[in-house]
Structure 1
């Protein structure tokens, strides 16, 4: 995991969905054009962390398993996005906490934040998801919201 994030990077929020893969494809294009490293950030949400903190034994083992599962979701999204042609300077970071909060915090040390624009369902059929909305409203760098692509490009 990165301890000192570079401000010369592009970050992309990844939750393992098709929206994540679309956001990763856009991020790959942007990192290539801007010659910047790409950091894929995935978050293990508060309910998962709360549950693991309530376990008397094996807390670190369970936390490690959550982190490993999150990394596998990112790997699957990366495979869908890039096949074998992953960007050269790509790193994966797993953080524990609320995704919107973490991505907004990470945006302080980034040139661009890219997230998938879930929406079109959930509460009142909104066109943008809550994480995307929070990132667009509170990010400290420009934000690119990516919808699900019709075709692979």
Structure 2
């Protein structure tokens, strides 16, 4: 895999409508600047309990790859543009997005994803990224 480039737009996605709007906004920015777009989705390994069967903590949960593909396809169709790369990465979304933001022009996020409290203005991932990202953060309102 190529080394990350600071000349890219990152978009955090989770399959929510809000993350799809963020992906659309990130694409407009990437096209305008002529840079690649990385759509990043994250998964966390399940806790491993001795005696409960065999669990591979390094394998994404069933359906994760399909959720990534379908989220990208909902925005771009079955054949995404060449400048778009989708990745499924291991780790907590907020921490990994902050880490990845060190190699980006901008981080684009939806206002809120699938989790959290419905009444709050921003989701926990958006809040963490606004506070700690190493690049500008755009939060797209849906």
TM > 0.5 fold call: yes
Aligned partners of 1:8, 1:111: CA distance in 2, in Å?
Answer: 6
Is residue 2:1 matched to residue 1:5?
no
Report the TM-score, using the length of structure 1 for normalisation: 0.80
Report deviation, 1:16. Answer: 0.7
Partner in structure 2 of residue 142 of structure 1? 136
Is residue 2:85 matched to residue 1:91?
yes
Q: CA RMSD in A?
A: 2.3
1:32–1:87 Cα contact (<8 Å) kept: no
Q: Unaligned stretches of 5+ in structure 2?
A: none
Number of residue pairs aligned between Structure 1 and Structure 2: 139
Aligned partners of 2:65, 2:7: CA distance in 1, in Å?
Answer: 23
Q: Unaligned stretches of 5+ in structure 1?
A: 149-153
Q: How does 1:35-50 map to 2 (within 5 A)?
A: 35-45=34-44, 49-50=45-46
Report deviation, 1:138. Answer: 0.7
Aligned partners of 1:101, 1:58: CA distance in 2, in Å?
Answer: 24
Report deviation, 1:31. Answer: 0.9
